[in-house]
Homo-oligomer: A and B are copies of this chain.
Amino acid sequence: MKTKLGPQRILFPLPTVLIVTGTMEKANIATIAWISILSSKPPTVGISVGTKGFTGEEILKNKNFTVNIASAEIMTETDFCGITSGKDIDKFEKTGLQKLPSSEISAPIIKQCPINLECKLIESKIIGTTNHFVGEIVETHVDTDKIKDITHWGTIDIDAVNPLVYISGAKEYRTIGKKIGDAYNIGNKLKE
């Protein structure tokens, strides 16, 4: 049996990422879960942030941002960056997270995040009370000890990355669970 809940923005599970804007001299961090890959050629990512927030202002000014995947190890720092505004405080200073320079853009990456994407803004679109920013991914960084073969990103050790999972509604952080099947493969069982 199904129950209708009316129009609700429900999606499970969500990734948890830290968006860094600004420059090495003055940078800010925002935590978001409304993010998706949009295309592979070119590689692009879409992020949604509030139209009235500091991060949106900074992206429009600098035309770039970095996406830093949060691990379970930095859950507390990640949550802090989601419940505070960069208008008031220096979140790098408060959390102890450290900046590293990007290769292609002004916004730094976060050392403690196992995976970092450098993104150049290619377009933006206001939808309701959020701004949807489309970024072209121009460089990717991964912790060297978390990838088996640096010539293929598919060999990233996901258990070593230990990505933080966000469950909206219940407002929980979780880890990823155990492997239960091979994608692009297990469905072949139903072909006959």
Interface, chain A (partner B; CB < 8 A): 1-15, 17, 34-46, 48, 67, 69, 72, 75-84, 94-95, 100, 103, 109, 115-117, 125, 127-130, 132, 134, 136-145, 147, 150, 153-156, 158, 161, 163, 165-191
Contact = CB atoms under 8 A, between A and B. Distances in A.
A184 B165 contact: no
- Per assembly, the copies of the chain total 2
Contacts of A5: 140-142, 147, 150, 153
B191 A181 contact: no
A114 to B, nearest CB: 9
A13 B36 CA distance: 10
29 contacts: A2-B116, A2-B142, A2-B144, A3-B142, A5-B141, A7-B137, A7-B139, A8-B137, A9-B45, A12-B115, A13-B13, A13-B163, A40-B128, A41-B129, A76-B181, A76-B187, A76-B190, A80-B187, A81-B187, A83-B187, A83-B188, A94-B190, A154-B169, A154-B171, A155-B169, A173-B186, A174-B177, A174-B180, A177-B177
